[in-house]
Amino acid sequence: MTDLAQTSPLQEEGRSARKRRAIMEAATGLFLRNGYQGTSMDEVAALAAVSKQTVYKHFTDKEQLFNAIILGAAERVGDFTDTVAAFADTENLEEDLGELARRYITTVIQPRTLQLRRLLIAEAGRFPAIARDYYQRAPGRTIDAFADTFQKLAGRGLLRIDDPSGAAAQFAWLILSQPMDRAMFFADEQQYTPADLHRFADEGVRVFLAAYRT
Amino acid sequence: MTDLAQTSPLQEEGRSARKRRAIMEAATGLFLRNGYQGTSMDEVAALAAVSKQTVYKHFTDKEQLFNAIILGAAERVGDFTDTVAAFADTENLEEDLGELARRYITTVIQPRTLQLRRLLIAEAGRFPAIARDYYQRAPGRTIDAFADTFQKLAGRGLLRIDDPSGAAAQFAWLILSQPMDRAMFFADEQQYTPADLHRFADEGVRVFLAAYRT
C-alpha cells in the first residue's frame, strides 16, 4: 500500500523546515548587503531557490521575514549570558574577568554581528519596535547579565559598586566601543586580529578594576 | 544710470548664498527623516522653494549635496577641539576634566547629531569615503585632541598614560557610550535631561581618573 513517490508527514515537515531555513539565510545575506528597502521578496525567492509562493507561505510579508531574522540573531546571545552568570562564583577575579572580557569582545566583534548592528541602526526609524526588541534581547540582555554578576561580586566584597547597571554598561563599552565604533563607519575595511581584540579587552578590564575593585 | 530693478553683483552673491543655504537645510531635514535613498532632488527643491535647476546649479548631484552636508556638520566640531587643547594647561585636573566631560556629552548627545550619526552608519556601505571622512573630521578628530592633551598632562606628571590614543578613546566612550548606544536603537524615544548627561560625564571621569591619575 506504500507509495514510494509520496512523502510522509515527517519528510514533509523536514522539507518545509529546510526551505524556511534557506529563505532566512538568503534573506539575511540580502538584507545585510543591500538593506531592507534594497531587498525584494523576488530576490529572496530566487536566491533561496524556492518559489515566491513558498516564501509567502512561511512569511506573510517582508517585515515579518526581517523580524524573524533579527529575533533569531538575538536568541543566539543566550549562551554568553550563562557564562557571565557563572562568573559570579569566581575565585580569581582579575584573571577570570580578563578571560570573560576577551570572550565578550571576540563574540561581538564579528563581521556578521557588526553588519546586523549597522542594518538595525539604519532601520531603527522605520521599525522602532524591532530595533528596541533586538536591543533588549541582545546587547541590553548581556549588560543586564553583567549587572547581576557585578552586584553579586559586590555582595561577596570583591567589587565596590553603587550602581551595578551603570558599572556594567561602562564595562561593556570600555571593552567594545573602540572596534565597534570604527566598524560602524568603516564598513569596508575592519578586521581586527585576535591580538588587537585581546588588547582592547585587557585595557578595559584594567581601567574597570582600577575604579571598582575593593 | 542706476537701474533699481537690477541687482548688483554683491546682492546676487548674497541671494545665491541664501539659496544654497536653503537647499542644504531642506536636504538635511529630508535626509535625516527619510534617508538617502528616500530623498529626491525634486523634494529638496520643493522644500527649499527653489527650482530644480537652481539645486543642480549648486550641487551636481544628490551625492555631492549629501557630501556637502556631512562635511559642514563635521566642520562644526572645530570649536570643541580648541577647548580640549586649552585643558592641557589646567591647574585643577579633576574639576576641569569634569567640566570638559559635561560639555562634551552635551555637545554630542543632541537629536540632530545623533540622527546624523544614524544616517551615516546607514549609508557607510554605499558611501565609504564620506563616512570615513566624517569619522576622521568629527569623532576621530575630537579623540585625537583628547589624546594630545592627555599626553601633555602625562608630561606634566598629572596622568600616567602609556597609550594616549587608547586612553582618549576610553575616555570618550566612558562618557558617551551609554546614551549614544541607546539613541542608535531607540530612534523614536530618547531625551536625556541635562542632569542625566552630567551623571554619565561625572561617572566616566571618576572611572577614568581612578585608572590614569598619578
Q: pTM here?
A: 0.89
On whether any CB of chain B is under 8 Å from the CB of A203, the answer is yes
Contact (CB<8Å) A185/B210:
no
Contact (CB<8Å) A173/B169:
no
On whether any CB of chain A is under 8 Å from the CB of B207, the answer is yes
Confidence (pLDDT) at B1: 47
Cross-strand pairs, B213: B159
Confidence (pLDDT) at B125: 85
Q: Which residues in B lie closer than 8 A to residue A37 (C-beta atoms)? A: 35, 37-38
Query: Any idea which of A205-209, B57-61, B116-120 has the lowest mean pLDDT?
Result: B116-120
Q: What CATH architecture is B9-61? A: Orthogonal Bundle (1.10)
Is the pLDDT at B64 greater than 70? The verdict is yes
Is the pLDDT at A1 greater than 50? The verdict is no
Which fold, A76-212? Tetracycline Repressor; domain 2 (1.10.357)
The x, y and z cell numbers of residue A160, run together, are 565596590
In single-letter form, the type of residue at position B83 comes to T
Confidence (pLDDT) at A4: 55
Residue with C-alpha cell 554578576? A149
Q: pLDDT tens-digit profile of A50-87? A: 999 999 999 999 999 999 999 888 887 777 899 999 99
Q: Which of A124, A166, A178 sits opposite B169 (nearest CB)?
A: A178
Q: What CATH architecture is A9-66? A: Orthogonal Bundle (1.10)
Question: What is the Cβ-side half-sphere exposure of residue B199, based on CA atoms within 13 angstroms?
Answer: 10
State the Cα–Cα distance between residues B102 and B112, nearest whole angstrom.
18
Q: Which residues in A lie closer than 8 A to residue B206 (C-beta atoms)? A: 211
State the Cα–Cα distance between residues B204 and B192, nearest whole angstrom.
16
On whether any CB of chain B is under 8 Å from the CB of A162, the answer is no
Q: Which of A207, A209, A212, A213 to mutate to test the interface with B (most CBs of B within 10 A)?
A: A207
Burial label for A75, CB within 10 Å (0-12, 13-18, 19+), is: exposed
Contact (CB<8Å) A184/B35:
no
Residue extents of the structural domains in chain A: 9-66, 76-212
Q: pLDDT tens-digit profile of A161-194? A: 999 999 999 999 999 999 999 999 987 666 789 9
